[in-house]
Amino acid sequence: MFQFLFRFEPTALLWLIVAFVATVLEVSVPHFGSAFVGAGAIAAAAASFLGFGLSAQLTTFIVVLVVSLVTLRSRLLGRLGGRGVPSRTAPLIGRQGVVTHDIEPTLGTGRVTVGGEDWAARSTDAIPAGTRITVMSADGIVLEVTRA
């Protein structure tokens, strides 16, 4: 029994080295890809330790890699990936400002100042400079406004 537990398997050692390198890479550059390579390599090392041949080890590696990648990556990205780049315009919705350049609905041109910052703006109505407005929404970096 002890011979089974302490026998040396060079392919198992190689698989564990692959798992270690993949883990170090994942910790250094987290992108939720290398972790699955590491999981597949550990499964292949277990197959090697249990005495399976190289084709079974490669099959185990590929199956564990693909199954874990398909089933877990999107869940982990959704949970740990964060919300992305924050919007600069979202905090402006509902705030009031002043038209600095006439807003022309047919041309889609106009500028407003909201919160001390100058923004491109558009509206369904023509709004002359100097008029107070309310920001209703944003389309990228263009504010959709109405008269206040």
Q: The pTM is what?
A: 0.51
Q: Where are the domains of the chain?
A: 2-80, 90-147
Question: Both ends of the chain: CA-CA distance in Å?
Answer: 84
Architecture of domain 90-147: Beta Barrel (2.40)
In the chain, what percentage of residues exceed pLDDT 70? 87
Instruction: Please write the tens of the pLDDT for every residue from 42-94.
Output: 999 999 988 899 999 999 999 999 998 888 877 776 666 666 667 888 889 99
